[in-house]
Amino acid sequence: MVRIPVDGQGVVDLDFIRREIDKKPLLVSVMHANNEIGVVQPVAEIGRLCREREVVFHTDAVQTVGHLPVSVRELNADLLSCSAHKLYGPKGIGFLYVRRGIRLSPLIHGGDQERRRRAGTENLPAIVGLGKALEIAGREMEAEGVRLTGYRDRLIDGLLKKVPDCRLNGDRDRRLPNNVNISFAYVEGESVLLNLDFEGIAVSTGSACTSSSLEASAVLLAIGVPAELAHGSIRITMGKWTTEAELDRILEALPRVVAKLRAMSPLYPGGKNG
């Protein structure tokens, strides 16, 4: 397996992909958008390169389906995966798009379900829920994208202005409408998370998949964030029920929490022990 490097903004290296594709790999797989820093990748171009060289291309579109326009034709995808819970559907259900002509080995043998790719009784209520969630998302996506992009940009601008020694992680514009990932020097992200939780504000220090790990985020390290700064990172995501008042609240609470933690830190130059 070969890992594709990214630049300092979290965008994959297309020149590297071009060189590796010439070696005829079995599969190229790239996330449509990163789940931690929200960066949207040039998936259509990657898919085009793969199609030209007859290399199978998969994209993980879990973060984008229902939030950004997604077309398997435009993305040149042979395989595309989606999960319902990311667009307010039931947990435990998703789909894998498989382009006609792509042959897959069965995941579970035994029955004829899912065209003999995965045996077992289908979860019909969840399948219906996924279909309904996609239908609703299709109606609301454009207006919701505009609203959340405005919230996202206001949050980014406000935090960068109010909190010194912080940085936005990932490309400023080429990102999901609802994602803000930001690092604060001289504090621990876990401490920020706990203090915000006391205020009734829920954030995370990484993806849900790595919530039990205390290691610095591999995603942040890959884009060149120093380990000590990566440990001071939090991810804020917004959704269809996020309000302007909640945005005001976090813009008031987060700078205050960071200032309090820095005042207790022996590492902070402006602190009591500095």
Q: Which active-site residues does the annotation give?
A: 209
Q: How far is CA 169 from CA 67, 70, 111, 158, 174, in A?
A: 20, 24, 46, 15, 12
What secondary structure letter does DSSP report for 77? -
SS3 (DSSP) at 234: strand
Q: What is the largest CA-CA distance in the chain?
A: 68
Which residues have C-beta within 8 Å of that of residue 196, sequence separation ≥ 6? 202, 203, 250, 253, 254, 257
Nearest C-alpha neighbor of 179 from the set 14, 60, 68: 68
**Contacts of the segment 5-9: beta carbons below 8 A, 24+ positions apart:** 5/222, 6/222, 6/223, 7/223, 8/223, 8/224, 9/39, 9/170, 9/171, 9/174, 9/223
Decide if 52 contacts 17 (C-beta within 8 A): no
Cα–Cα distance for residue pair 204/211, rounded to 1 Å: 8
